[in-house]
């Protein structure tokens, strides 16, 4: 007996698939089309085919694009590594039953994560402002002068703001990971006289590695999209020292109206992120296979 | 299996980062011949920047509505950053969201050449007693693109040198300056004098200049006054890029000298707000800023508190100032062009413009700046005469269809030099190279 081309269960998901094609497929296809054209919002009728030359020009001749990509990688590296360290420390503290008020802190520490990033950016813009900011004022009283937004410091400052906002996310994932670990190996290690440091190094960390990897992957992908802090605080300055890739794409696409070029940059960014995802996914798989 | 699902989710998340674009607009028909405003009731939607001048315009508009019962006005006031995108979106739509817009001078050529704006020549020619030539020449010229008028001046952003006059008049400072430099302490008229005066005040415990070296628009707007004073410009008369010549090099070196040795520390990202705070708090002795900041600083209940009344406006060192301006314009795709012109002609007419300026608006008409009633009810004869002098010898920040991009790219390089990321020659060479590349695009 021949199977019908579309079974009942297939027909059930058809509306969803059609919606996805319309909502995701059309914009993606259109943005791919304009990425191959010299497409400017102020001269739409004059859009002309330039093909892959647009991609080649960006990759081979656009120093600002590479600078922005470099800034983004530096930002992600600083922010995610600090978030991992602080998140792990906090998770270990909150995992201990002896920690006082641990349930209160679990709730309180999550607050920054629920503030919209543009508001966080504006908040820190004023907190760190050399004229009005409470932070420079307190530091001055202690005899410390830091120019938070100098060319050398600004990107680190933005990364620290990201750390303030997203360490709770790392904490949440790592705490869930810690609480899912079996108790028996730890009891055996304590019976054998292992020190807390040894237990952490030889048991906790290896057993937590898949969770750490997953948390790092998710945070890295999210940190790659940094835009709001840059827009609210530095606008990419001083010079191009804090121009991240998302801000650069915004600048080309929506400030200069060169949407074709901005779309090509977006596709290059997608390619970079996908490569990163594939690499991290294989690392995850190897990790999960070695655990078996 | 779990791993595959995880990778799919991550892949989907990455793909979601792609951006989409609006589709091309349909062609629209527009009125091309001016006529009397339609008798049928019409509502005009006007986009404006949310600044004090908007409040003045909004309040005058009630008078307009009383005189023109068939035309209702609604304003969409917003921060500057949001305006350009909104105007562009409206211009690309089949029907306009805005019937009247205000256009910043870097956008004028871009919008006119993109076909977003309606030429106003016929309207102006047929408007009784309008006297278009009464607008100050350089302001009027900004609204003219390829020989046609697309914008009528609404607001000037010409820069002047705002100083704490009480410091310059202080006998103690005058004696010390005379002793140190062998000449009297005066408001500087050259770059050399400006840097010397700035450093002198710094040695007396007051910062010489509240500067605005913020990346992009702000530093370009401020530094271009220095460039003019050094005898330079962005382009020469033939349209060649000359921003990397000796005059530009000297202007940038002196600007950085002033920043390092006379401006407040850690101010490399300062813009308009920070510089104003520095001046109004008494921290700094001078600043290059918009001429209409003087009344704000001298207002008894204004930001300067007890310092109100001690500020004075002068021409920038070198005399030639950077000119910024807002212009009233009519989008090509509006269905209410005649009514839109009726409103623009009314709000920019001599009589109403006089009321606007008396209420504190930035002047644009010569007759209004020379009006005794304006002097008496406004901010005094000296102020308006100085503003007129500034405006008559001012030049737009940048012109051409890609002015916005040039301003931002050059401003980025200038800021790099001030921040110490690049040396002066390298920054100016990069600025020139980027400007040439922008101008060379089809």
| Each residue's pLDDT tens digit, B329-343 | 999 999 999 999 999
Q: Which residue has the higher pLDDT, B102 or B21?
A: B102
Q: Mean pLDDT, to the nearest integer, of A176-192?
A: 95
Band of the pLDDT at A75, cuts 50, 70, 90? very high
State the pLDDT confidence band at A279, using cuts at 50, 70 and 90.
Answer: confident
CA distance B116 to chain A (A): 9
Tracing tokens 């901010």 back to the chain, one arrives at B379
Per-residue model confidence (pLDDT) at position B16: 37
Residues of chain B found within 8 Å of residue A237, distances taken between Cβ atoms = 214-216, 268-269, 412, 415, 419
Q: Tell me the nearest-neighbour CA distance from B212 into chain A, angstroms.
A: 12
- Residue in chain B closest to A288 (alpha carbons) equals B3
Mean pLDDT of A63-74: 96
> Averaged over A108-136, what is the pLDDT?
94
What pLDDT is stored for residue A291 in this prediction?
62
Instruction: Work out the average pLDDT over B168-180.
Output: 97
pLDDT tens, residue by residue, B233-242: 999 999 999 9
Q: Which of B28-32, B247-251, B323-327, B405-409 has the lowest mean pLDDT?
A: B28-32
* pLDDT interval class at A99 (50, 70, 90): confident
Q: Calculate mean pLDDT across residues A78-91.
A: 97
Q: Looking at the predicted structure, is the pLDDT value of residue B14 above 90?
A: no
B269 and A CB contact within 8 Å: yes
CA distance A149 to A157: 7
Q: Which of A238, A273, A279 to mutate to test the interface with B (most CBs of B within 10 A)?
A: A238
In chain A, residues with a C-beta closer than 8 Å to the C-beta of B265 are 130, 145, 147
What's residue A282's pLDDT? 84
Q: What pLDDT, on a 0 to 100 scale, did the predictor assign at position A276?
A: 86
- Taking 90 as the threshold, does the pLDDT of residue B79 lie above it? yes
Q: What is the mean pLDDT of residues A32-37?
A: 97
pLDDT in tens, B276-285: 999 999 999 9
Region A224-243 average pLDDT: 95
Task: Determine whether the interchain pair B6/A281 forms a contact, defined as Cβ–Cβ distance below 8 Å.
Answer: yes
Interface of B with A in 313-342 (CB under 8 A): none
Q: Percent of chain A, pLDDT > 70? A: 97
Say whether pLDDT at B31 is over 50.
Answer: no
Residue B109's nearest CA partner among B73, B163, B146, B74 is: B146
Residue with tokens 């319309």: A22
Residue B39: per-residue pLDDT: 64
- Across residues A200-207, what is the average pLDDT? 94
Tokens 């002066």: give the residue: B424
- Does the beta carbon of A236 lie under 8 angstroms from any beta carbon of chain B? yes
Contact A157, A148 (CB under 8 A): yes
pLDDT score recorded for residue A225: 93
Residues of A in contact with B413 (CB under 8 A): 239
Residue bearing the bigger pLDDT, B6 or A167: A167
pLDDT at B153: 98
Q: Tell me the chain B residues in contact with residue A236 when contact means C-beta distances shorter than 8 Å.
A: 215, 412
Q: Does B81 touch chain A (CB under 8 A)?
A: no
Span A171-195, mean pLDDT?
A: 95
Residues of chain B neighbouring A251 (CB-CB closer than 8 A): 408
Please determine, for residue B244, whether its predicted confidence score (pLDDT) is greater than 90.
yes
Whether pLDDT at B36 is above 90: no
pLDDT tens sequence across B364-393 = 999 999 999 999 999 999 999 999 999 999
Q: Work out the number of other CB atoms within 10 angstroms of the CB of residue B149.
A: 22
Please indicate whether residue A292 or residue A227 has the higher confidence score (pLDDT). A227
Span A155-179, average pLDDT: 97
What residues contact residue B40 under an 8 Å CB cut-off, 6+ apart? B70
* % residues pLDDT > 70 (chain B): 91
Per-residue pLDDT band at B354 (split at 50, 70, 90) = very high
Residue, of A165 and A98, whose pLDDT is higher: A165
Average pLDDT, chain B: 91
Residue B29 has pLDDT above 80, yes or no: no
Question: Do B15 and A266 contact (CB within 8 A), yes or no?
Answer: no
How confident is the model at residue A103, as a pLDDT?
Answer: 83
- The answer to whether residue A285 neighbours chain B at the CB level (below 8 Å) is yes
| pTM of the predicted structure, to 2 decimals | 0.89
Question: Which residue matches tokens 């869930």?
Answer: A176
Mean pLDDT of B171-186: 96
**Residue B90 pLDDT level (bands cut at 50, 70, 90):** very high
For the cut 60, the answer to whether the pLDDT of residue B30 exceeds it is no
pLDDT recorded at residue B164: 98
Q: What is the pLDDT of residue B3?
A: 40
Token pair in block for residue B230: 């050094």
Write down the pLDDT at residue B8: 36
């Amino acid at each position: 007996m021949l199977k019908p081309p579309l079974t009942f269960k297939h027909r059930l998901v058809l509306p969803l698939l059609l919606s996805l094609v319309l909502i995701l497929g059309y914009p993606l296809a259109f943005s791919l089309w304009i990425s191959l054209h010299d497409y400017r919002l102020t001269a739409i009728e004059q859009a002309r085919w330039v093909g892959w030359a647009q991609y080649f020009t960006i990759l081979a001749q656009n120093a600002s694009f590479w600078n922005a990509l470099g800034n983004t990688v530096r930002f992600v590296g600083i922010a995610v590594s600090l978030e991992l360290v602080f998140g792990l420390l906090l998770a270990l503290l909150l995992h201990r039953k002896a920690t006082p008020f641990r349930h209160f802190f679990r709730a309180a520490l999550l607050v920054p994560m629920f503030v919209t990033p543009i508001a966080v950016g504006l908040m820190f813009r004023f907190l760190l402002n050399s004229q009005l900011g409470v932070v420079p004022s307190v530091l001055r009283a202690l005899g410390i002068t830091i120019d938070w937004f100098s060319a050398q410091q600004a990107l680190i400052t933005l990364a620290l703001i990201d750390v303030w906002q997203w360490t709770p996310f790392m904490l949440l994932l790592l705490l869930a990971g810690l609480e899912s670990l079996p108790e028996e190996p730890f009891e055996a290690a304590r019976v054998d006289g292992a020190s807390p440091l040894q237990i952490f190094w030889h048991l906790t960390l290896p057993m937590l590695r898949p969770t750490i990897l997953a948390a790092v992957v998710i945070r890295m992908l999210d940190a790659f999209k940094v835009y709001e802090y840059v827009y609210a605080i530095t606008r990419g300055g001083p010079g191009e020292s804090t121009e991240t890739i998302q801000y650069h794409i915004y600048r080309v696409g929506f400030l200069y109206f060169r949407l074709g070029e901005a779309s090509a940059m977006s596709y290059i960014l997608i390619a970079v992120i996908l490569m990163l995802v594939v690499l991290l996914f294989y690392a995850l798989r190897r990790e999960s296979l070695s655990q078996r | 299996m779990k791993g595959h699902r995880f990778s799919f989710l991550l892949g989907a998340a990455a793909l979601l980062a792609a951006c989409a674009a609006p589709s091309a607009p349909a062609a629209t028909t527009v009125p091309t011949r001016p006529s009397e405003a339609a008798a049928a009731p019409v509502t005009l939607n006007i986009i404006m920047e949310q600044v004090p001048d908007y409040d003045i315009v909004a309040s005058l508009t009630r008078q307009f509505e009383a005189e023109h019962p068939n035309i209702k006005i609604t304003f969409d006031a917003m921060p500057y950053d949001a305006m350009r995108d909104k105007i562009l979106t409206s211009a690309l739509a089949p029907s306009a969201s805005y019937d009247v817009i205000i256009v910043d001078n870097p956008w004028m050529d871009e919008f006119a050449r993109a076909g977003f704006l309606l030429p106003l020549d016929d309207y102006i020619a047929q408007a009784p007693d309008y006297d278009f030539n009464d607008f100050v020449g350089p302001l009027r010229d900004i609204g003219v693109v390829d020989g046609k008028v697309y914008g009528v001046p609404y607001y000037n952003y010409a820069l002047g040198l705002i100083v704490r006059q009480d410091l310059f008049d202080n006998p103690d400072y005058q004696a010390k300056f005379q002793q140190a430099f062998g000449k009297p302490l005066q408001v500087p008229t050259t770059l050399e004098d400006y840097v010397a005066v700035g450093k002198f005040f710094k040695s007396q415990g007051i910062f010489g200049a509240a500067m605005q070296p913020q990346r992009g628009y702000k530093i370009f707007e401020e530094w271009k006054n220095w460039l003019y004073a050094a005898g330079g410009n962005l382009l020469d008369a033939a349209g060649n890029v000359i921003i990397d010549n000796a005059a530009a090099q000297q202007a940038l070196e002196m600007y950085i000298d002033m920043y390092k040795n006379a401006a407040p520390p850690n101010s490399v990202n300062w813009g308009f707000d920070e510089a104003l705070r520095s001046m109004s708090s008494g921290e700094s002795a001078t600043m290059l800023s918009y001429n209409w900041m003087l009344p704000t600083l001298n207002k008894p209940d204004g930001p300067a508190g007890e310092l109100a009344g001690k500020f004075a406006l002068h021409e920038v060192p070198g005399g030639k100032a950077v000119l910024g301006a807002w212009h009233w314009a009519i989008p090509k795709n509006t269905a209410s062009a005649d009514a839109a012109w009726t409103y623009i002609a009314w709000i920019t007419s001599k009589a109403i413009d006089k009321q606007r300026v008396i209420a504190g608006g930035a002047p644009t008409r010569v007759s209004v700046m020379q009006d005794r009633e304006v002097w008496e009810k406004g901010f005094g004869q000296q102020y308006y005469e100085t503003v007129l002098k500034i405006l008559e010898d001012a030049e737009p920040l940048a012109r051409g269809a890609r002015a916005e991009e040039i301003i931002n790219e050059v401003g980025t390089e200038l800021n790099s030099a001030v921040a110490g990321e690049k040396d002066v020659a390298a920054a100016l060479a990069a600025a020139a190279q980027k400007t040439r590349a922008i101008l060379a695009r089809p």
